[in-house]
Amino acid sequence: MSGGRRRGPARRRGRVHPQLVLGAVLVGLVLVTALVSLVWTPYDPEHAGAERLLPPGAEHWFGTDRFGRDVFSQVMAGAQITLLVGLVAVGIAAVVGVPLGVLAGMLQGSGRGRPAAVLMRGSDILLAFPGLLLAIVLGAVYGAGTVTAMVALGIGSIPAFARVARSGTLQVMRADYVLAARAANRGNLAIAARHVLPNIAGTVLVQCSVNFAIAVLAEAGLSFLGLGTPPPTPSWGRMLQESQQFLGVADHLAIVPGVAIAVAVLGFNLLGDGLRDVLDPRLASTGPAAEHVAVDAGTGVRHEPDGAAAEPALDLRGLTVRTQSGRALLSDLSLRVAAGERVGLIGESGSGKTMTALAALGLLPDGVSATGHVGLAGVDGNLLDRGERALARLRGREISMVFQEPMTALNPLMRVGRQVAEAMTVHGVPHGTASRRAADLLAEVGLPDGAARRYPHELSGGQRQRVVLATALANDPAVLVADEPTTALDVTVQRQVLDLVVRLVRDRGAGLLFITHDLAVVSQVCERVVVLLDGVVVEEGPVAEVFAHPRHEYTRRLLAASALEPLAVEAAGPGADGRSAATAGQSPSAPEPLIRVEDVTRTYASRGQTVHALRGVSLEVREGQRFGIVGESGSGKSTLLRIVSGLDQATSGRVASAGVDLSPAGTGRVGTAPSGGARGVGGPTASPDLGDLRAALQLVFQDPYGSLDPRMTVGDIVAEPLLNPANVRDGGPRTAAARRDAVREMLDAVGLPLDATERYPHQFSGGQRQRIAIARALVCRPRILVADEPVSALDVSVRRQVLDLLVRLADEYALTLLLVSHDLGVVRHVCDHVAVMHDGLIVEQGPTAQVYDDPRHEYTRRLRAATPLLR
């Protein structure tokens, strides 16, 4: 692990950043000037040897001052004091502020908000003493001078560094890779050194550069006031101050040091801005390798569009969308939506389906342009030829759109009633009428009375999506484009919103273009379907026909991946008791559960309110089982999973995982020690022995982008759990070479190439990243693998592969699998046992087949009915 390799994001961008380069050149210029002036200046800067107030000329490039000193030499030498003051001030601020901020961030990130807040308040009090004021005050007491200035400016900048370090640390602490490190039993110091510091180094560097600029300005100001470096040492600020008496006579005396200050400040500011841009992950643009095989364009089977005789409500012909660099996001796409017709546009991420929608409404992002034809019934000509003003008149009236993310689609500062009404007022409806209509519309989409007066944050995701829908349909448009409108919603809410969309569109006789990755949703909502792959339509036709007899290979693959049938062999057995006896060598008559949860509650305070995340949950997971927990957002499933994994503690009840008692202190501890161990029995101990748990239980997280540290190589990531000796089993890898072998073996087992060890996470696709996360979880051979929504962020075709990999590995490594998902289909595919959670309770549990085929609880039935199925 050499230092040079850890540069991931910065190295990604091949392009030279102009600000960064200019900043570096200017800073370099100041630096070189200062260094050169130490050994050489044209004249002695402190020696008055020439004629006074000479204008710039050949002899004295920048002229001479009132004592006949050479201005050029003085400016050169002045760079020294500027850099010295900046360096020491920034040094003091960083050395004090960064550890303070990291400490506060780590405290808060691990749930100890109060001491963190105290730390930050303390540092914030310094905000009341800006550096310049502090320097004046200290100067008054201890005498002005270079040292006073440096110290005062440094102290004054401490809060800025503390804040930057704290927010950076908090961000890192919230990342799943820190959770993974904690699950691998890494200590706080190790987390700080391996994850926090490398990841905040960039922002701290930016802050250093920006603060250097501030210090240069402040030093100049102090010298200007006569409170900086005393004469005769040359200083830019004092040169400026002395120039004042000769204004109009010798302006060069003001301009030369003024420009010097500006160049230095500009240099450091540009350097900081450039670094910020280069280090900003949002701007790092290299995409991972495409996950699916490319299909040659134009080979797809095409059906003749139905109802070609009638004028289509929306008519896209030969639509091609390109980026500025010429990359085609959509190629020659043709698509028609007849009046009253519901057309589904299907594709995986990156297929260009959202671009299609945006092109139709003239909302393409900057730097992306479309050619071809976009026609709308009753509107002459090509929409692509219209200007923004002419397009705006059509948007919301003839064609409107519903977006994917309801949480951000509404203006947070405006009441929702006004936002709905605005859709009408912009098209000329008087305010009073529009407000009344808006209230009616909100009622029509099923929002409670008075919803119009609410702000978006006071509504749930499903409610917000209803508001967006009401807005879109306010003017009874001929075409509604819906881009993944229910993807961000829970299953039961999704069902309601889908039904609503279909009803409203049908009532209005509008055409619907419904964009989604979910084939089952299309089969419920749409009559016709268009399949998009890499910006090319590969197949289209009536839903029933395409789904029953897919002609294109990609459609077939997509359909196969979407249909998650239960894995036959395991589901057949009633439990998994037999296997547990075989693997663990326990008495088959009384197998101890590997995970036992008894009447667990978890409450926490959030913004002054008490939240009951878990309200009395009990379950048992036996060795070798594949146990699924299914529930919607807010059901408590993730909280339960964190408690079982020792990452959170229950408020009351008893918990034991892999023989380690995780019950909260103070409650009677449960004696669930397996036959082999004697731990955990007896009275309460201060903290459970998590070390043993970490070796036995590992996790895989939901977001494959957040769960891997972007600055570590895949080899280092997978090896991390092995670095804690407590995690390594007897005979396990304890040397660097053995660890390397173990990592290779694991990467091979999850189906990744061996050269992956030297690469960084960003070079892998989502599915591959999830494989890396699985390899990390299994490298120290745990007995239990806990997976939190492991495939919900993945495309359909990849989802299937990762699920099957999990099942295969569970068999190979004799794992007990605990899988949490919102998707009943996923759980049914993988698990032999399932618990259904709702509102902090387990409402039903049992063998998957039984719960699925014969649900007892009303909520399970509702969940099942809401889950979209392929017809």
Partner 1 sequence: MARHLASHVAQLAATLLVATAAIFLLLRVLPGDPAVVALGIEASPEALAAWRAEHGTDGPLVAQYLHWVGGLLTGDLGTSYVTSQELTPLVADRVQVTGILVLLGMLIALVVAVPLGTLAAVWHRNAGGVTLSAVSQVGVAVPNFLVGVLLVSLFAVRLGWLPSGGWTAPVDGLGEFWRHVLLPAVALGSVQAAIITRYVRSAVLEIMREDFLRTARAKGLTFTGALVRHGLRNAGVPIVTVVGVQIASMLIGAVVIERVFAVPGLGSLLLDSVGNRDLLAVQSVVAVLVVLVVLLNFLVDLAYTLLDPRLRRAA
Binding residues among 251-280 for partner 1 as defined by CB under 8 A: 251, 254-255, 258, 261-266, 269-270, 273
What's phi and psi for 820, nearest 5 deg?
Answer: -110, 135
Alpha-carbon span 19 to 267, nearest angstrom: 9
In the bound state with partner 1, the residue whose beta carbon lies nearer, of 238 and 800, is 238
Q: Measured from the CB of residue 728, what is the shortest distance to partner 1 in angstroms? A: 45
Identify which of residues 459 and 543 has a Cβ nearer to partner 1 in the complex: 459
- The answer to whether residue 471 forms part of the interface with partner 1 (CB under 8 A) is yes
Contact of 740 with 713, CB cutoff 8 Å: no
CB of 23 to partner 1, least distance (A): 10
Query: In the set 164, 319, 410, 650, which binds partner 1 (CB under 8 A)?
Result: 410
Distance (Å, rounded) from C-alpha 377 to C-alpha 339?
9
Q: Are strands 342-346 and 528-533 parallel, antiparallel or unpaired?
A: parallel
Between the two ends of the chain, the Cα-to-Cα distance in Å is 53
Residues of span 202-231 touching partner 1 by CB under 8 A: 213, 217, 220-221, 224-225, 227
Q: How far is the CB of 512 from partner 1 (least distance, A)?
A: 15
> What is the C-alpha separation between 124 and 838, in angstroms, rounded?
43
The single residue listed with the structure tokens 């494989």 is 771
In the chain, the amino acid numbered 118 is: V
State which of residues 405, 599, 648, 839 lies at the interface with partner 1 (CB under 8 A): 405
Q: Which of residues 619-638 bind partner 1 (CB under 8 A)?
A: none
For residue 345, which of 336, 551, 796 has the smallest C-alpha distance? 336
Question: Which one of residues 3, 248, 683, 725 is an interface residue with partner 1 (CB under 8 A)?
Answer: 248
Which residue lies nearer to partner 1 by CB, 247 or 294? Answer: 247
**Left, alpha or beta for 367 (phi > 0: left; psi -120 to 50: alpha)?**
left
- The Cβ of residue 2 has, within 10 Å, a number of other Cβ atoms equal to 5
Residue nearer to partner 1 on the CB measure, 255 or 611: 255
Question: What distances in angstroms separate CA 373 from CA 94, 154, 317, 422, 828, one per listed residue?
Answer: 57, 61, 5, 29, 45
Q: Which is nearer to partner 1, 136 or 339 (CB)?
A: 136
**Interaction of residue 411 with partner 1, rule CB under 8 A:** yes
427 near partner 1, judged by CB under 8 A: yes
Phi and psi (nearest 5°) for 318?
A: 55, 35
Q: Which stretch binds partner 1 (CB under 8 A): 85-93, 464-472, 684-692, 859-867?
A: 464-472
Q: Which stretch binds partner 1 (CB under 8 A): 8-16, 178-186, 452-460, 853-861?
A: 452-460
Nearest to 693 by CA among 738, 652, 648: 648
Write out the binding residues for partner 1, residues 115-154 only, by CB under 8 A. Answer: 121, 124-125, 127-130, 132-133, 136-141
Taking the complex as a whole, the smallest distance from the CB of residue 233 to partner 1 amounts, in Å, to: 19
Q: How far is the CB of 395 from partner 1 (least distance, A)?
A: 5
Look up residue 194 and give its DSSP letter. I
- Per CB under 8 A, the list member of 69, 292, 342, 395 interacting with partner 1 is 395
Q: Which is nearer to partner 1, 217 or 818 (CB)?
A: 217
For 767, the enclosing helix (H) or strand (E) is helix 766-778
Question: According to the binding rule CB under 8 A, does residue 414 interact with partner 1?
Answer: yes
- Cα–Cα distance list, 511 to 221, 313, 377, 506, 741 (Å): 67, 6, 11, 8, 58
Q: Does 363 bind partner 1 (CB under 8 A)?
A: yes
User: Closer CB to partner 1, residue 427 or residue 557?
Assistant: 427
Please choose, out of 423-431, 538-546, 683-691, 692-700, the segment that lies near partner 1 by the rule CB under 8 A. 423-431
Of 44 and 458, which has the nearer Cβ to partner 1? 458
DSSP secondary structure, 314-383, as one string: EEEEEEEEEETT--EEEEEEEEEE-TT-EEEEE--TTSSHHHHHHHHHT-PPTTEEEEEEEEETTB-S-G
Q: What angle do CA 650, 653, 656 make, to 5 degrees?
A: 80
What is 30-59 written as a DSSP string?
Answer: HHHHHHHHHH--SS-TT---S-TTPPS-SS
Could you say whether residue 243 binds partner 1 (CB under 8 A)? Answer: yes
Name which position in 78, 350, 396, 624 contacts partner 1 (CB under 8 A).
Answer: 396
Q: List the one residue from 36, 188, 244, 691 that touches partner 1 (CB under 8 A).
A: 244
User: Residue 688 is encoded by which pair of tokens?
Assistant: 């459970």
Q: Pick out residues in 558-617 that bind partner 1 (CB under 8 A).
A: 607-608
Q: Which is nearer to partner 1, 455 or 813 (CB)?
A: 455
Using CB under 8 A, which of 3, 4, 14, 367 touches partner 1? 367
Q: Residue 236 is encoded by which pair of tokens?
A: 């830019």
- By the 8 A CB rule, do 473 and 441 touch? yes
Is 824 in contact with 621 (CB distance < 8 Å)?
A: no
- Considering the rule CB under 8 A, would residue 514 count as an interface residue with partner 1? no
